[in-house]
Every structure is written in structure tokens, then in C-alpha cells.
Amino acid sequence: MLASRHNSCLVAVCCKSLDEKTLDLKTFNSIATSSNIVVSTTLESNLLNPLENADAVAMKLKQYNHSVRQNEPSGRSQFAVNEKQFQDIHQEQLEAILANAVDAIITIDEHGFIKSVNPATQKMFGYRPDEIMDQNINVLMPQPFHDEHDQYIRNYLESGEKKIIGIGREVSGQRKDGTVFPIHLAVSEIRIDDHWYFTGIIRDISDVKRVEAKLVQNERLAAIGQMMAGLAHESRNAFQRSHACLTNLAFDVREMPESLELVHKVQNALDNLNALLDEVRDYAAPIVLEKSPTHLEALIRDTWQQIVTANAESANIQFAIHRSQDFPERIKIDRVRIGQVIWNLLENARSACNSADGEIRIELEKYDDPNRVVVEVHDNGAGLSAESTEHIFEPFFTTKTKGTGLGLAICRRIVNAHDGQLTARNRSPNGATFRLQLPVIE
């Protein structure tokens, strides 16, 4: 009878703690041990953290308390049933959380082998669960982390020094297709039956990094734009005076062909320098879009016609547009800005082609994403060198004898301002393809 009263008091304290949601594992173990209450590992682990359903658990313990007071042998079995119900509910809640989490959640053992993954892991990394279960976690890591990760675990188990556990840091992940992307990794640890397990919560921060890079670029461009605006203003008067003097000089040496040619070369050099200053200023200036519904195919045809008018030999180049049936009639873009992009792409394709047997083909089609469209400009020219492919959109990079190297750099800025993408690649057997991807805004 004394034991029953003792159990009753201890369970009452336990219930009070649960009512206040302050019961921790240590307190519960102490109470359970003193009371001879058999508690499963699952229930213990659920008391590690504050409970959303503490009132429900308190009610179960009060029911057990009531059974003890009446000295009923069924008290323990009743509690066991209620505990099982609690376990089932908790398991369903846990599975729902893991299934709907947007972050990848991966558990590995002390040897680095994957023991569990949630659905977001497949979406983020591209592996099906059966492809990576019991595989080393380093399959999701690029070099040098791929080769070094096992040593990281051994160092921690031997020294206990935490470099990422409980801290979190930015690292890189590697998808099944080999692409590397930035992630934020948070790691927690747990010891079960003398074995260590580590759970990582992984968040793809690619969008965050893109925004950060864009902000940094905008700040730099704003500074360059301000400087170039002042430089262009101050230099314009100097250019005008130089041209006036050169015009007078050209009149004086009009009977001296060699000297006159030199004067014209200087005039051309000044014009090129003035054009460069204007292009740098335009490149650095903020891009303000004025979007309107635009018939993209008509814009491309009009632009090509302007190029042919300005370059008569271009009329011999075969030019064709292929439009898929699901390509929208109109998309909402800045007609002038995208017209500038189209002009640059077509002009580059024209320059790459031989006017006698040149061929330029335009493909208009919907992207895999139904909210985006793709415009591809194909030519049968010499194609792009490895260096050109890597640097072609960088400012001041050019393969032409004439030009500033800012045309495609400006084009990419315009496309990025439309939330689009502009890329280039070689095509087989010869030529190059420029791919313009734009969002569809109905």
C-alpha cells in the first residue's frame, strides 16, 4: 500500500510537469525508475523536447495514477496501450513532417553510410532513395569534400571537436548529373546503443546566392555608370574640339592624299573611342524595362530585314524561322530591348556565315517549363572556340577585329533583367547556337 501511494505521488508530479510542459527526459526517468514504471525508448525520446500534445500524455499518466490508487493490476497494461497509441500518433506526425519538408533531411551512421532520406532529397539531388541508401554520403559532395569527408567523421569521433555539428555552414553539394550547387548544411548527432548517427538538414541556397551576386553586380555597375557618365560629359567637348580641328586640317591637306588619309584615321579613332564610352555607359546604366505584348516572330523578321537592308550581301544567306504550334502568339517583353538582343544575335550569326552558302535558322518553341519560351539562333559558321564559349558574354571580350566586346555582355544584362537566360554552344557538325530563354507573362 505504501508503494501504491508512493507511485501515486510520483505520477502526480509527472502529470503536473506535463501540464506545465516542463518535463524533461532526466526527470521522467527518475520518476519512472522510482515508480517501477516501464517506459519504452520511443516514449522517452518523445519527452526530450517540449510536447505539442503534452496534455494528452498527462491524461494518460493520470489514468495510470488512477489505476494505481485503486490497486488495479490492469493499470500497467492500460498505460501500455495508451503508450502504443502515442507512439503511432507520433510516428504519423514525424512521417508527415519529413514527407513535406522542403529541405533535404539525411541520416548517416558513424561510417558515413546513408540510412534514411526524405522525399526532398530526391528532388534536390536527383537520386531515388534506393540509389543512395547505404551508399557513402560523399556521393552528394564535390571534390575535395568527396575524398575528405570520412576523415572528418573519424577526427570528430576521436577528438570530439565540433566543426559543423550544431553550428551550420555553407558548403557545396553535387547532384546526380554532376552539377555543383551551394547549400546550407546543419548537422545534429545522436547516440543509440553505443553507435553514433548524424542527421543533416540541407537547404539549396542557389537562389540566395544569385540574388547576392546580382546585388553586388548592381552596386559595381552603379559606381561604373556614375563614373562613365561624368567621363562622357567631360570628354564630349574635347571630342568636338578635336573633330573641328581635324576637319580644318583635312581641308588644308586636301591636296596631300597620304596626309589626308592619316587625318581620316584619327577621326575614325576618335569616333570609335566616343562609341566605346557610350557603350560602357549603356552597359553600366540601370536597365528599366517597358514591357508590352509583342509578336516575337514578327520582331525577328523585321530585325533581319533591317540587317539585310544595311548589308546587301546578307540577302544570299538562307534565313528561316520554325515555330512550334504551342509557341504563344505574343509574350510580354520590352520590345526595344529584346529587339537589341535579337539584332546582336542575328548580326553575329551573319558575320559568322559565308555569304555564299550561309544558313541561319531560328527555332521558336515552348520550354519544358510551360511558363517559359525558347528562341534558338543557329548558324553554319566556323563555330566557337573553347575560349570563346567560356568568355563570350564577358565585357570587352571579342573575337572581331572591330568592336568593343560589350554587345553580348549588354544582351545578357537585358535578358537577365527579363528574368531570362542567354547561353551559347557549338552545334554539330559546324556552327554555333545562341539560346534565349524568356518567361511567358500572359
Determine the angle formed by the axes of helices 335-352 and 296-310, rounding to 10 degrees. 50
pLDDT at position 241: 84
Q: Please identify which residue in the block is written with the cell numbers 517501477.
A: 36
pLDDT at position 80: 53
Mean pLDDT by groups of 10 residues along the chain of 442 residues: 36 39 42 40 39 47 50 49 64 76 89 90 91 90 80 79 77 90 89 86 89 77 68 74 87 87 86 75 77 93 89 85 91 92 92 83 86 92 82 78 76 90 87 91 58
pLDDT at position 67: 52
pLDDT at position 86: 62
57 phi, psi to nearest 5 deg: -65, -40
Tell how strand 359-366 and strand 318-323 pair up: parallel
pLDDT at position 5: 34
pLDDT at position 10: 35
Tell me which fold the domain 292-439 belongs to: Heat Shock Protein 90 (3.30.565)
- Which residue from 406, 404, 307 is spatially nearest to 353, judged by alpha carbons? 307
Helix (H), strand (E) counts: the chain? 14, 12
Q: How far apart are CA 61 and CA 37, in angstroms?
A: 11
Q: Is the dihedral of CA 246, 247, 253, 255 positive or negative?
A: positive
pLDDT at position 401: 65
- Which residue from 144, 148, 140, 151 is spatially nearest to 114, judged by alpha carbons? 140
This prediction has a pTM of 0.48
Q: Enter the CATH code of domain 101-204.
A: 3.30.450.20
404 phi, psi to nearest 5 deg: -95, -15
Q: Residue 352 in contact with residue 381, Cβ under 8 Å?
A: yes
Q: How far apart are CA 302 and CA 305, in angstroms?
A: 5
Q: Residue 170 in contact with residue 182, Cβ under 8 Å?
A: yes
- Domain map (residue ranges) of the chain: 2-99, 101-204, 209-284, 292-439
Q: Is the dihedral of CA 242, 248, 251, 257 positive or negative?
A: negative
- Contacts by 40-45, CB closer than 8 A, 24 or more apart: 40/83, 40/87, 42/87, 42/90, 43/83, 43/86, 43/87
User: Which set of grid coordinates corresponds to residue 249?
Assistant: 586640317
Peptide bond into 144 cis (omega under 30): yes
SS3 330: coil
Q: How many CB atoms lie within 10 A of CB 147?
A: 10
SS3 34: helix
- Please give the helix or strand (H or E) that residue 352 lies within, else none: helix 335-352
